[in-house]
Amino acid sequence: MVGLRLFRAGAVAWLAACGGSPDATPDKSAAGTEAGACSVLTAEAVQEVTGVAVSRIERNPAIGAGGNCDNFTTPDGQPYLGVNRLDSKWQYTSAVESVPEDLYPSRSPVAGLGDDAVLMSGPGGLRYLAARKGEAGVVLFPLGQGFQMTDDQLRELASRALAAAG
């Protein structure tokens, strides 16, 4: 049952974060750039913050790499972190409101991160951090071994991604 909830939660996070369906074509940001062209985090930054060696890969929802901007895997190819770029306050609001509270029952404001930020969490290490500064925003969602990432590490990555997105 826990495995099914984690799978469902991952799928919901992917859909909420990516704004699409499993059959959708690669997302484009509001600026019209293909996924990957809007990179806001590097593999080096993720490794520096988390201590985990990762590789950046292109968006591939079939393996869990559903971020519209950046996706990272561990050396064995397991999804680790997805990152979405948001280009408006509306996208930020939509990203936050579309996350089901039954899967992410804990919602905490994150003080000092942009103009508005919220960390949502659920069972088994599920987390979804959305942050916005002005019209620019980011969503970070750890996957697989990324569940071991601390909230402080996730916050630091979001701060770096938000700075690059703005």
Task: Delimit the domains of the chain by residue range.
Answer: 2-22+37-165
Tokens at 102, concatenated: 């039954």
Q: State CA 29 to chain mean position distance.
A: 14
The b/e string for 99-109 (b: 16+ C-beta within 10 A; e otherwise) is beeebbeeeee
* pLDDT for the residue 80: 96
* pLDDT for the residue 66: 87
Q: What is the pLDDT along the chain (166 residues), one digit of tens a residue?
A: 334 334 344 444 434 444 433 223 333 333 333 434 679 999 999 999 999 999 999 988 888 888 999 999 999 999 999 999 999 999 999 999 999 999 999 999 999 999 999 999 999 889 999 999 999 999 999 999 899 999 999 999 999 999 998 8
**How many other CB atoms are found less than 10 A from the CB of residue 5?**
15
> Which single residue is written with the structure tokens 């080096």?
44
Task: Record the pTM.
Answer: 0.78
Say whether 109 sits in a helix, a strand or coil. Answer: strand
Q: Can you spell out the DSSP letters for 33-66?
A: PBTTTT----HHHHHHHH----EEE--BGGGTB-
* pLDDT for the residue 56: 94
Fold (topology level) of 2-22+37-165: Protein Transport Mog1p; Chain A (3.40.1000)
Q: Taking the chain, what is the end-to-end CA distance rounded to the nearest angstrom?
A: 40
Residues sharing a CB contact under 8 Å with residue 44, sequence separation 6 or more, in sequence order: none
* pLDDT for the residue 38: 79
Tokens at 8, concatenated: 């469902």
**How many other CB atoms are found less than 10 A from the CB of residue 45?**
18
**How many other CB atoms are found less than 10 A from the CB of residue 62?**
7
Helices (H), ranges, the chain: 2-18, 43-50, 89-97, 151-165
